Chain A
């Protein structure tokens, strides 16, 4: 098994950003994102200011910038979509580097790119400076419905177990000569995913039994 210490998104530290109460950080992130999303996309310099704010917070938290940047890869599919927009959108066109593209599309791509990136950076900063347990307690203090907090708590708890299971299935597949590069093998991936789902579902049932056995009646004890 050998689960590592801490979560993969969390960077251990003792900066003021780390120490700030989790519920405040969540609210700040939410407010920041609302402002970013509500800002008209033509106000170009304002986005520079936003970026400065995020960079300042990251600097204050003393989390290495590379640590955050590496984790930004989650954004790649969105970037791909953003790059596609200028070519597929309609309306008046313009020329960029000799290629004819849609003006609307270009603007939409810019908005997606900049707002998405700011969102990812800010969320990663929150994740890097807040332990998952703290995050859950913060959400609880913000009076998020208890059921939702419970579901998230279980997700945090079983993330390692399920990824471990997935990893073992991958090792077992690869040990029998499987190669994900070969498109003919791809149906196997789908079936593995199905098996993983069933296993996780059955584990859910077993966990529930274990909870009932200790007197669980549908509400988490306080």
Chain B
């Protein structure tokens, strides 16, 4: 097989206060895959995400993105390749206008002028927010802000898009609109989520992280229908939802 887009080997990490969050995580994500990262609160999902673009540095083990190891020397390139969308759009959108915000990433990469404009408009088109380009982000609705947050990362043309809880706090319509957008993107996707139906809908593959290690990795349908595994890792389907009635996704 080709070089995986994301290659995490034996990753372990303890926070400075001594709390060990990750115990040897192995994860490989290949080009074009859409993977859900599941796990209860405190399983280490966010810690893992912060390693993918070099915000945290591995205590042991390694992370590489398309063959490039995540190290200080090429952090800038790593951060172009790995686009992280954080949970709270208010953390992600900090500039005065949507245009400036979406342009922030590419501008940091040294892109300017018409090419910057093209990237900004293209990214906003992909999330259906092109009409809002000159609005201040804090005047948008929550769902719109989440979509702009996705655009801020798409504008960097990343090789892998990492989303932290993309469906949290969205109303059902915004949640579905975001799903349509994510499905339409031609990009490798890693999605951290507690929203299991969302994972089943969008991601053919699921990885379960529990207490800092990967305890399951397989088709999302198989993971969600493995009752013993689900129970052992504090994963619960919402009331009335049964993957068996939906069936495995193509």
- Which A residues are closer than 8 A to B by beta carbons? 1, 3, 5, 132-133, 136, 153-154, 156-158, 160-161, 203, 206-207, 209-217, 221-222
- Chain B CB count within 10 A is highest, among A136, A207, A221, for A221
Residue of A nearest to B88 (CB): A206
- B92 touching A210, Cβ below 8 Å: yes
- Which B residues are closer than 8 A to A by beta carbons? 50, 53, 55, 76, 79-80, 82-84, 86, 88, 90-92, 94-97, 103-105, 107-109, 112, 136-139, 142, 152-153, 156
- Chain A CB count within 10 A is highest, among B90, B95, B104, for B90
Q: How far is the CB of A30 from chain B (nearest CB, A)?
A: 23
- Chain A CB count within 10 A is highest, among B53, B97, B142, for B53
Q: Give me 5 other A-B pairs in contact (C-beta within 8 A), A3-B138, A210-B94, A214-B156 excluded.
A: A154-B94, A211-B104, A213-B86, A214-B153, A215-B76
- Chain A CB count within 10 A is highest, among B82, B92, B103, for B92
- Report Cα–Cα, A212/B92, bound state, in Å: 11
- B108 touching A161, Cβ below 8 Å: no
- A215 touching B80, Cβ below 8 Å: yes
- A213 touching B84, Cβ below 8 Å: yes
- A221 touching B79, Cβ below 8 Å: no
- Report Cα–Cα, A29/B88, bound state, in Å: 38
Residue of A nearest to B87 (CB): A206
Q: Which residues of A contact B76 (CB under 8 A)?
A: 215, 217
Q: Which residues of B contact A156 (CB under 8 A)?
A: 96
- A133 touching B97, Cβ below 8 Å: yes
- Report Cα–Cα, A154/B93, bound state, in Å: 10
- B95 touching A157, Cβ below 8 Å: yes
Q: Which residues of B contact A160 (CB under 8 A)?
A: 138
Q: From B91, B96, B97, give the contact of A210 (CB < 8 A).
A: B91
- Report Cα–Cα, A217/B109, bound state, in Å: 10
Residue of B nearest to A134 (CB): B96
Q: From B97, B108, B137, give the contact of A214 (CB < 8 A).
A: B108
Q: Which residues of B contact A207 (CB under 8 A)?
A: 91, 94
- B90 touching A209, Cβ below 8 Å: no
- A213 touching B96, Cβ below 8 Å: no
Q: How far is the CB of B71 from chain A (nearest CB, A)?
A: 15
